[in-house]
Every structure is written in structure tokens, then in C-alpha cells.
Structure 1
């Protein structure tokens, strides 16, 4: 698996069911989401802006940039459990070789700020993403069970890496047009 294959296989609309365990608050959270993943043209001006604001050379070779948007309902919303949170981010892969590279995100997974991550693929095609944020370290894993089903897990650690703050697991099913 390489980044181009991974993005191509990820494109589309997904229904996600995620279970999270916050060790810090000793609570479970169930989240239902609609996730949309679509490619972005490499000439999109936002890509260059993201590259310019990163630590990478602005002429770095990118591959398969995409936009991910989501709308999620959580049973852990303190004010209104039916409240829908939504968002979107631009994601720009910058491969180092066939199986590793950097990933630029306009909004991070664990903290709502631009993020730079390291990615790699295991021999079985599992995508691993590691991100060092200001307050935490996130490790995400995504793997495909079939063409239309994928799984995602994450572990969020303290910034020193010594304590686990949160874990989650999601199963995601692609929405097929009839």
C-alpha cells in the first residue's frame, strides 16, 4: 500500500461508529458520524498556503491531497446530546518514499490547530499516523477490512508520552449509491 492507493481507497462517503474511552475522565463516548473524503486538485491555493506555513520546503513533492469533512453526534455532549459537531480539514500527503512520509493537516485530530504528522504503512497495508501536538501525542491506525469497510483506532497520550489520555475504535462503512 502507498499513499496514493490509500487515498483512492478512502474516497467517498462513510458512516462511522466510534467508541471512545477517556481515561482522564473515566467515561465512555459513543459517536456516530458521516465522513466525506474527496480529492483536491494539487493546484488548489490552500495547499500552497498549508505548505508555506509548514516546516517543509514549499516546493516539496505532494501526492493525492484531499479534504475530509464530518458531522458527528455524540452521547457525551454536556449541554445537548443531540447537538451535531462538524468540521473539515485539508490533508496534504508529502511522501518520502513508497511507504513513509509526512502529512500536513489544516486542522489536527487531537487539537484544533494545523498539524504535521509522520505516516507509514505496515506490510499488511495498515496506515499509521503519529502526531506530536503541543499538549499531546496521537497515534492513529486505519486498515481496510474490505473495499467498503474500514477500521480506525487511536491512542492519545500526554505530551511526554508517559500517560494514556484517551483511546478509541471506529468501524466505518462506505455509503454506496444505489
Structure 2
């Protein structure tokens, strides 16, 4: 699988159920999310702006996309209007057929721009590794059918000596039954 085909398989609306374990605080969290992945053109103004904001990278920009989410967590206050939401622009920079960089306007673990290293494994699993100021996030995403995918993540200390958080998500594509 190529990065382009992985992202085309990922495009659409997904319902996600995530279980997170904060090992540092000995807490457990359940999160229900709505995720929308939209492929963008390289000429999109937000894509151009993000590319121009980073140091020159070796590789070929390909298949940029927007990811938007709405999430409800059992850690949230009792007010149902308190929903976590956001969006980010992501741009793969292909360095070879199976790996490269992923530029993120907002990171997964910390709310800052980030550059991740990605790799597509022989079993079509997509892996990401992102170093932030205080932590390192490692993610794995794989499809178990065309409309069901799984995601796992581990958040470690920057030294790699401690695991701060782990999570597992199952994501089901929303199908248009009228179309």
C-alpha cells in the first residue's frame, strides 16, 4: 500500500470509540468521536501556507488532507455543550515508497505544529512517530475491513524511560445508505 492509497481508503466520516489509559495519573478515559477526513489539493491555500511555514524538507508533498473532530469524553464536565473539537491540516512528504514525513498543523499529543515520521509496513499498517517538546507519540493505524479501522497510540516521555498514556480506538466509517 502507498501513502496515497492509505489516505484514499481513510477519506470520509468515521465514528470512533477510544479507550485511553493515563498511566501517569492512573486514570481511564472513554472518548466517542466523530472524525472527518477530507483530501485536499496541493494548491489549497492552507496547504501552501503550512508548507511554507516549515523548513525545507527532502521529499515530495502528496495527498494533503484535513482532519476534523468532535469528541465527548467521560472526563468532560457534565455539561453536554463541553465538547472537544478541532481540525488540522496534514501533508505527507513522501521520501520513498513506504516512508516519509507527515507535517501537521496541530499535533496529536501537544497542541503545536509537528513533523512526524511515517512508515507503511508490509501488512499495510501505517505507523507514525512524533517528537514534541516533552514527549514522543507513537501511533499505528490499520484497516480490518474497508469500513473499519483500528488505531493504537503510546505517549512516552522524551527520554523514552516512561510511558505516560496508551490508547486504543476502533473507527467505523459512516455509510451513506441513501446514495
Q: TM-score, normalised by structure 1?
A: 0.95
1:68 to 1:12, Cα distance in 2 relative to 1, 3 A: same
- Give the conservation status (yes or no) of the 8 Å contact 2:37–2:67: yes
Q: 2:43, 2:173 → 1: CA distance?
A: 28
Change (3 A) 1:93 1:134: same
Could you tell me how far apart the structure 1 residues matched to 2:137 and 2:79 are?
26
How far apart, in 1, do the equivalents of 2:39 and 2:59 lie?
18
Once the two structures are TM-superposed, the CA of residue 87 in structure 1 deviates from its matched residue by 0.3
How many residue pairs get aligned? The number is 176
Distance across 2 between alignment mates of 1:133 and 1:144 = 27
Alignment check: 8 A CA contact 1:73 1:81 kept: no
Q: Please name the residue that 2:33 is paired with.
A: 33
Aligned-partner Cα distance in 1 for 2:56–2:118: 15
1:69 and 1:119 map into 2 onto residues whose CA distance is 20
Equivalent residue, structure 1, for 2:85: 86
> TM-score of the superposition, structure 2-length normalised?
0.95
Q: Does 1:66 align with 2:38?
A: no
Gaps of 5+ in 2: none
- CA RMSD between the two structures: 1.2
Structure 1: unaligned runs, 5 residues or longer: none
